[in-house]
Amino acid sequence: MSTFYVTTPIYYVNARPHLGHAYTTIVADTLKRFHKLIGSDARMLTGTDEHGDKIVKAAAKENKSPKEFVDAISAEFNALWKDLKIDYDQFIRTTDEDHKKSVQALLQRIYDKGDIYYGEYGGHYCFGCERFYTEKELEDGLCPQHKTKPEYISEKNYFFKMSKYQDWLKQYILDNPDFIRPERYKNEVLAMLEGNVLEDLCISRPKSRLEWGIELPFDKDYVCYVWFDALANYISALGWGNSDDLSKFDKYWPAEHLVAKDILKPHGIFWPTMLKAADLPVYKHLNVHGYWLVKDTKMSKSLGNVVDPRFASEHFGLDAFRYFLLRDMHFGSDASYSEEGLISRINSDLSNDLGNLFSRVLSMNAKYFAKEVPALGELSEEDEQIFASVDTAAQNYIQLFKEVRFSYALDGLWEPIRLMNKYVDSQAPWTLYKEGKTERLATVIRVLLENMYKIAVLLYPVMPESSQKMQAQLGKEFSLHEKLIDDLMSCKVHLRTGAVISDSSNRFPQFEKTAENREEKKDDKKDGKKNQKKDNAPKTEENAGSGLIEFADFQKLDLRVGTILNAEQHPDADKLLRFDVDLGEEKPRQIISGIAEFFKPSELIGHKVVVVANLPPRKLRGLVSHGMILTAEKDDHLSLLTSSAPNGSKIS
């Protein structure tokens, strides 16, 4: 049996858990469940990072000792993961004695190899980042993360010869192109290695300045730098350096790491060079995700826009919350969180598509076959299309999950779900029943039930509770085993003819808009009436007749060149497509366009287009569009307006 070991970063306990922490942990949980589904022995690690300057300062603010402070916050993380039903195998803390032993063993091994030396160093120290910055790394003299001026500190410390491994790391990344993924983060790390001469890493803090840390095994006057300490958790959790029994380490290492983009450098540069210096295998992949934004702004306690994942999961349902997070963030890119967006996703995908399919098919089966699974007769071309559609989507889903492309995997899985709803309408079981075509009716219902079962099984990693309940509704007891996916994909029939199944399903009820959202809608209607009155007002001589505009009017348009990175069908509108367009900005823009009847989404990816970039955001069937893609139309033929200019170029 193959093994799979997934880790979250260990979360720093200077603040309480929020949506960003929950997302990473839910992704790790989903990956563990997925690999168990496909027959692997899967293991998950999470935990808390509890040493360093920031902890001492945060504890002092609350009049607590560092130990009292970290115990309380670590317990909050652990409690949240239990509430979110995270299936972790170990919750590690850097204050654990076993972890301390591992860190000291790692330090001693690298020291004995000659890759740690003692020296004097003066540098710009950011207490928020707990690290030294070079002049090159500062932005206008400020820390690039915290936008504060670091304090210049000169002191004697121990240094890891990280620069020794620069050429090795660069070549390793080039030889293993999916080592860091998505690709943009691999390129970012390569740029760090190519753009600068990699400096040695200061890995100690004198006890005269900081005592809250792990003591260096070769000098009792120093404690370990918090990042060197924290990164070692991934192997200390498997017993490396703290146990004579290395069977767990040998079985599960190397790991799959999950991190947010703000800790790319420690994981993409510090950690692999540390492992290389210690003569240990490097990890399999570093999987890097973006930020969850609220109204296009990074969550911040000071801004008061931090999302409580416990409230969202309790109010909307844990499985629906998990689905939204996996579906709405394209892994690697930033994504916007809003209650309205969550409600829209639940209502469109889960209620209207999946929930509706289960509800109507189970109800019809109860009505026409007294809740018993009917026999499968001769298959028509339409029936075979349903089986083929589900099988193709399943194969793509499995491959995309392995590549941590969750949103694309789920989007593809929803194609046969929507197709089955259309199949119900086209086959019209109610008409077959009235006409007495019982055998054909039985086959139609059985085709639906069998493929609903496949969908239910495949959704287990994302929505574990709902998956098991949907399988139970179809008369199947959920059981993970090594051959489950092979069995699922190898034959058409999985349900037992004559088995009694549920007569109804209400797994995903519709959600009403919140009172706040309803109020916004009323205001929109009022504004619409006002605008309508303005539009219907008599035209004056100034704006009537000529059709000409002033040059100043044209100057108001901000026309930009961009590349379509992703194109897909709008989840709730047949005529609309959703695009991610790179306009040379920090992140791609989401643009909704009503051109679905003219183009297939897959045909548009990679095309350069012209976008009206300064239109106010507009919501179209639940999704916000930040611009308009320009097209040209003649004789009922629509073409994209294109340009070969670089992304972000302004047309004037």
Catalytic residues: 18, 21, 126, 129, 143, 146, 298, 301
CA geometry: angle at 431 spanning 425 and 433, to 5°?
120
- Least Cα distance to 448 among 568, 349, 510, 368 occurs for 368
CA distance 562 to 136: 31
* Whole-number Å distance between alpha carbons of 235 and 242: 10
**Peptide linkage before 461 cis (omega within 30 of 0):** no
How many helices, marked H, and strands, marked E, lie in the chain? 24, 27
Rounded CA gap, 101 and 241, in Å?
A: 6
Q: Which residue has 């844990």 as its token pair?
A: 318
**Number of Cα atoms under 13 Å in the Cβ half of residue 263:** 21
Helix (H, G, I), strand (E, B) or coil at 261: helix
127 C-beta neighbours (distance < 10 Å), count: 17
Number of alpha carbons in the 13 Å side-chain half-sphere of residue 199: 15
Q: How far apart are CA 585 and CA 593, in angstroms?
A: 20
Q: DSSP letter for 209, please.
A: T
Residues 6+ apart with CB under 8 A from 239: 98, 245, 246, 247, 248, 249
Q: State whether residue 516 is helix, strand or coil.
A: helix
Asked if residues 285 and 6 have their Cβ atoms less than 8 Å apart, the reply is no
Q: How far is Cα 60 from Cα 68, in angstroms, rounded to an integer?
A: 11
Which ranges of 336-405 does DSSP label H, i.e. alpha helix? 339-345, 356-369, 381-402
- Give 248's Cβ-side CA count (13 Å radius): 19
Closest by CA to 286, choosing from 194, 191, 176, is 176
Do the beta carbons of residue 458 and residue 413 sit within 8 Å?
A: yes
The identity of residue 346, as a single letter, is I
The pair of three-digit structure tokens given for residue 330, joined into one six-digit string: 């394209």
